[in-house]
Structure 1
Amino acid sequence: MNSPITLDALKVLDAIERKKSFAAAADELFRVPSAVSYTVNKLEEDLGVELFDRSKRKAQLTPVGTMLIDQGRLILKATDELTRLAQQSANGWEAELRICIDSILLFKPIYALIAQFQQEYPWINIRVTEEVLGGTWDSLIADSTDLIIGATGESHNRDFNVQSLGEIDFVFAVAKDHPLVDEPVPISDRAIKQYSSIVVADSSRGLPSRSEGLLDGQSRITVPTVQKKIEAHLLGVGIGFLPVHRIQDELESGELVSLQLASYESRTNQLIMAWNKDNQGKALAWFIEKIQAISDKLI
């Protein structure tokens, strides 16, 4: 069934309500008043309802007319948004860009880029998610994100473009009042295995889970993010390796203490940014370029 409520009729009603006059609405719409009146009369006739109370000097809506305009404006807004989306899509701009940030990174520099992007392109939505270890790659493989930032390891997928963001260093760190602080250095495996290791849960759903820095037989406490791991270290709940760039302030203040271990060499990880080769979106290209320029601030 064809509805008598057309976009043109909704635009006429919207103009009348805002201008409080059929004549003023006609001026705004560049029409003669009789054409505006005809549109309203025809709509009332087709619907079988009165939209305006004609006993008043000014154009005053009936309750049904108020409801129709309130809902009609939502339709007009959605139509405008759909038109803009169609135009920006034709010009190579995405309706939404999905960014997955690995838990190991500092988010603030990326948020600053998002704020800059929104100033320039406020009509494009940004969706930010956080994953851990294999979960970051998993999100790209599953096509639930367009750009991953801070991934580690190899993608094993030739469909992805991969860009290095640099290396991060790890140190074995414990709270300032942890018993290991009083152990002779380098700290032995025997001493380490007395305490639980704080590990971050791999959020991967499709790839094999990964864990790092564990000794055989050592108990573990699993937490959801790197930030939660740092908090657990500070409380003395457990021990383990932490990325240096995330705990600089705590190391300088002495809240965390870096310890030398007997059986571990220094640890580094290569951080990666990756995206699907087929994705030619302009928003994606904007972020790739900007993130490359600030990669040193991420770590």
Structure 2
Amino acid sequence: MNMPERRNVLTPEALAMVDVIARTGSFAAAARELGKVPSALTYSVRQLEEALDVLLFDRRSRQARLTAAGEELLQEGRRLLQEMDAVANRVRRVASGWETQLCIAVDAILSNLTVFELCEAFYALNPPHGPGTRLRLRSEVLAGTWEALVSGVADLAIGVSPVQTLPPGISMQPLGELDMVFVVAPHHPLAGAGEPLSDAELVHHRAVAAADSAQRLAPLTVNLLPGQDVFTVPSVGAKLEAILRGLGCGFLPESLVRGHVEVGRLVIKPVTRPRLTGRLSYAWRSAPSHAVPRGRAPLGLALSWWLEQLERPATRTALLERHIGWQPGVIG
């Protein structure tokens, strides 16, 4: 029997039959559960074995014991049945307006705690399985957040820098501002230096920088001085950890370092350069109106839900302010 013919015998009914026989332990018990006579079940199993040219059950035992080939078919069959159910559910949900997948790029400078609280609320829309849309989170830094959106990888980008001209199909709204402060560890040489600190003094001390995650766009360099030694780390959490250890100095959101400053683990040092604020926005991809089928909204229901949350001032403030999750000794 060739491959297409073998494929035809591996029906959901046949896979479910093997599962029931293995679970009940006998053909007779399986026949009762399936509402069939035992002889019909035995005949169906023999047809399946002949088509696959393998023995699925050991006939030497009174119980229906699977052979090694039968065990493989059982495990793979269960996986296939689960996948078929999942595909059917996703197709039905997509038809109702819920996206199959939603990819969200979040700048690592924002509150990780708030992001996961939003994910928790999203999945609670239809407990315990959620609305059926697969969420995919990406943690990005600086231009990498914008790149994930414009390259088509992400559907929603939270924490991008505002731009004057938006590409077609991209919408943007302001998220808020981050108050950036210059911090050092108490044992860092700059901790006891006179204030305010000038660039001429800062250039002699190593800066800690979170690496821009952009792969194609030109990476951004923020608050670094020409000729200054730089310790580059992979994330904002790693930057905080490095500064806490006195490995360098740098600018971080005041909301992120506030708790460390209050207990004396970090020191805020005024600088001569103008006070820095980081203006951030959120942006999303939507199909042009002419590309949307009649009767369908231009945005999927999952993306619409996330945008509704971001419209709330409390959500935007939490993303900028709630950095409870950052702890010394943990590289996030």
Residue 194 of structure 2 aligns to a residue in which SS? coil
Alpha-carbon distance, 1:162 to partner: 1.2
Q: Partner amino acid for 2:142?
A: L
Q: Which residue of the partner structure matches residue 210 of structure 2?
A: 200
Q: Distance in 1 between matches of 2:69 and 2:204?
A: 74
Alignment of 1:172-187 (within 5 A): 172-187=182-197
Residue 115 of structure 2 aligns to a residue in which SS? helix
Out of 148, 153, 162, which is 1:153 matched to? 162
Q: Partner amino acid for 1:235?
A: R
Q: Distance in 2 between matches of 1:229 and 1:242?
A: 9
Residue 5 of structure 2 aligns to a residue in which SS? coil
Say yes or no: does 1:5 pair with 2:10.
yes
Alignment of 1:1-299 (within 5 A): 1-3=4-6, 4-119=9-124, 120=126, 121-122=129-130, 123-154=132-163, 156-262=166-272, 264-278=273-287, 280-293=299-312, 294-299=315-320
Judged with a 3 Å threshold, the aligned counterparts in structure 2 of structure 1 residues 181 and 51 are, in CA distance, closer, same or farther, namely closer
Judged with a 3 Å threshold, the aligned counterparts in structure 2 of structure 1 residues 207 and 44 are, in CA distance, closer, same or farther, namely closer
Deviations 1:109-139 (A, max 9, x none): 1112212323434454322221111110001
Judged with a 3 Å threshold, the aligned counterparts in structure 2 of structure 1 residues 56 and 231 are, in CA distance, closer, same or farther, namely closer
Alpha-carbon distance, 1:23 to partner: 4.0
Aligned length: 298
Deviations 1:221-280 (A, max 9, x none): 222222222222222222222111111111111221112222x12111122111102272
Alpha-carbon distance, 1:179 to partner: 2.5
Judged with a 3 Å threshold, the aligned counterparts in structure 2 of structure 1 residues 221 and 44 are, in CA distance, closer, same or farther, namely closer
Alpha-carbon distance, 1:76 to partner: 1.7
Residue 247 of structure 1 aligns to a residue in which SS? helix
Judged with a 3 Å threshold, the aligned counterparts in structure 2 of structure 1 residues 237 and 90 are, in CA distance, closer, same or farther, namely same
Q: Partner amino acid for 1:243?
A: P
Q: Partner amino acid for 2:242?
A: A
Residue 284 of structure 1 aligns to a residue in which SS? helix
Judged with a 3 Å threshold, the aligned counterparts in structure 2 of structure 1 residues 55 and 235 are, in CA distance, closer, same or farther, namely closer
Q: Distance in 1 between matches of 2:50 and 2:199?
A: 87
Q: Distance in 1 between matches of 2:72 and 2:204?
A: 69
Alpha-carbon distance, 1:185 to partner: 2.0
Q: Distance in 2 between matches of 1:137 and 1:13?
A: 50
Q: Is the 8 A contact 1:161 1:277 kept in 2?
A: yes
Judged with a 3 Å threshold, the aligned counterparts in structure 2 of structure 1 residues 41 and 193 are, in CA distance, closer, same or farther, namely closer
Q: Distance in 2 between matches of 1:271 and 1:149?
A: 8
Unmatched 5+ residue regions in structure 1? none
State the TM-score, normalizing by the size of structure 2. 0.81
Residue 98 of structure 1 aligns to a residue in which SS? strand
- Aligned Cα root-mean-square deviation (Å): 2.3
Identity, in percent, stands at: 38
- More off after superposition, 231-240 vs 41-50: 41-50
- More off after superposition, 26-35 vs 182-191: 26-35
Q: Partner amino acid for 1:298?
A: L
Alpha-carbon distance, 1:56 to partner: 4.2
State the TM-score, normalizing by the size of structure 1. 0.89
Q: Distance in 1 between matches of 2:56 and 2:203?
A: 78
Alpha-carbon distance, 1:27 to partner: 4.0
- Kindly report structure 1 stretches of 4+ aligned residues shifted beyond 6 Å: none
Deviations 1:146-190 (A, max 9, x none): 211112232732421212221110112122232323333222332
Q: Is the 8 A contact 1:180 1:191 kept in 2?
A: no
